[in-house]
A and B are shown apart, each in its own frame.
Chain A
Amino acid sequence: MSTIEATVDAGPVVTEAAERRTATRTGSRGAALAGARDMLPLLLGILPFAVVIGVTVHRAAIDHLAGWAGSLLLFGGIAQLTAVELLDKGVAPLVIVGTVVLINSRFVLYSAALAEWFRHEPRRRRLWLAFPLVDQLYVVCTERFAAGDLDRAQRRAYYVGGAMVLAVGWVTTQGIATLFAASIPSPELLQIAAPLAFVGLLAATVKDRAALVAALVAGAAALAGPVIPSHLGLLAAIVLGVLVGGLVDRRPS
């Protein structure tokens, strides 16, 4: 076959492949933007919490840079705040790490969801994707992926888009709050923003009886949080909500 024939033969194939790639890129870009957009209300809700942590890091007798680095390395507000406060009190390092593990034990549940979402991705990529997995990302992706209308690349793009917005907003805000803590009057006033953002998503996404039951049970169980030892109250409430929601679910699986 001559070079010209080969080029002519390959023409439509190359064009189709290029079109497919372009369509995927466009779809992925759109999905990434959608992920970023869907994350924004939750990000706005947790920014006051980021300010509170930044101010706490500034006031604590610890290495401020390391405290702030926790915003990215730990990427979980409750655990980071607890670690900073315990460090400030001089608690033993192993006890602090153990406490963080208990607080973040709910991530095992999120990890199971992540393994399902990205089952067809190479393992190395899944290991990268797991890094920013946190409450907000888990909730937004669970809701969006339930529709089942995104292909593999779009799903990944949506996840990364949401994660990027969350990470940049969270880490930057904490950094600014740590640097300018002295000028911040009382960030505690805005603490209601996080529950508001969460309740907004909850109200928008509870669409059937079983999901409502899961929410009610988890909400009620969370009241027992203070009496459950080792910071396991949140995890217990979530697991109970999922189990009871599953029991009353009549949708075919």
Chain B
Amino acid sequence: MTTWLVILGAALCTYLLRVSMVFALDRRPLPDRVAARLRFGAPAVLAAVVTGSLFTSAHSVRAPALGDLLAVVLAAAVVRRTHNAAHALLVGLPVALLVAAVAS
């Protein structure tokens, strides 16, 4: 029962965060200047998640596994060349798994 209560309570609060600006900006939309700046949210989210995944643990900064780092760098280089985001997994995953297998 506690699990259900926590999940439902957390879900409700999360939904309120998701709709917060729908209500706040209902009558007065964001100024164009501010709205235009929201485009930086996507690269910021992506970079923060990638860096966080690779270089941090729950309580400290850590060195990433060599295979993971190599895979990410190669994946970024390939995607910059091909302009196809799907290539990141196709290139990076085998590299990461291969280096991990060799290192173990």
**Number of interface residues, chain A, beta carbon within 8 A:** 94
With known contacts A196-B71, A196-B72, A237-B48, A87–B37 Cβ distance under 8 A: no
**Number of interface residues, chain B, beta carbon within 8 A:** 75
Asked whether A139 lies within 8 Å of B20 as measured between CB atoms, the reply is no
Q: Does residue B103 face the partner (Cβ distance < 8 Å to A)?
A: no
Q: Does residue B102 face the partner (Cβ distance < 8 Å to A)?
A: no
| B residues with CB within 8 A of A | 1-11, 13-15, 17-22, 24-26, 29-30, 32-33, 35-61, 67-68, 71-72, 75-77, 79-80, 83-89, 92-93, 96-97, 100
Q: Quick one: which of A174-210 are within 8 Å of B by CB?
A: 189-206, 210
Asked whether A108 lies within 8 Å of B21 as measured between CB atoms, the reply is yes
Give the most central of A67, A197, A203, A226: most B CB within 10 Å: A203
Query: Which of A9-17, A23-31, A123-131, A158-166 has 4 or more CB atoms under 8 Å from chain B?
Result: A123-131
Contact among A100, A138, A251 for B14, CB-based, below 8 A: A100
Asked whether A109 lies within 8 Å of B19 as measured between CB atoms, the reply is no
Contact with B along A203-223 (1 / 0, CB 8 A): 111100011101111111111
Asked whether B6 lies within 8 Å of A101 as measured between CB atoms, the reply is no
Q: Using Cβ atoms and an 8 Å threshold, which residues of chain B touch A196?
A: 71-72, 75, 88-89, 92-93, 96
Asked whether B58 lies within 8 Å of A45 as measured between CB atoms, the reply is no
Asked whether B7 lies within 8 Å of A73 as measured between CB atoms, the reply is yes
Q: How far is the CB of A158 from chain B (nearest CB, A)?
A: 15
Asked whether A216 lies within 8 Å of B47 as measured between CB atoms, the reply is yes
With known contacts A195-B53, A226-B61, A238–B72 Cβ distance under 8 A: no
Q: How far is the CB of A68 from chain B (nearest CB, A)?
A: 10
Q: How far is the CB of B97 from chain A (nearest CB, A)?
A: 7
Report 23 cross-chain contacts, Cβ distance below 8 Å, ordered by A residue: A93-B9, A104-B13, A111-B19, A114-B21, A114-B22, A115-B25, A119-B25, A130-B18, A138-B45, A142-B42, A196-B88, A199-B75, A200-B76, A203-B85, A203-B88, A205-B43, A205-B46, A211-B43, A219-B50, A223-B55, A223-B56, A253-B35, A253-B36
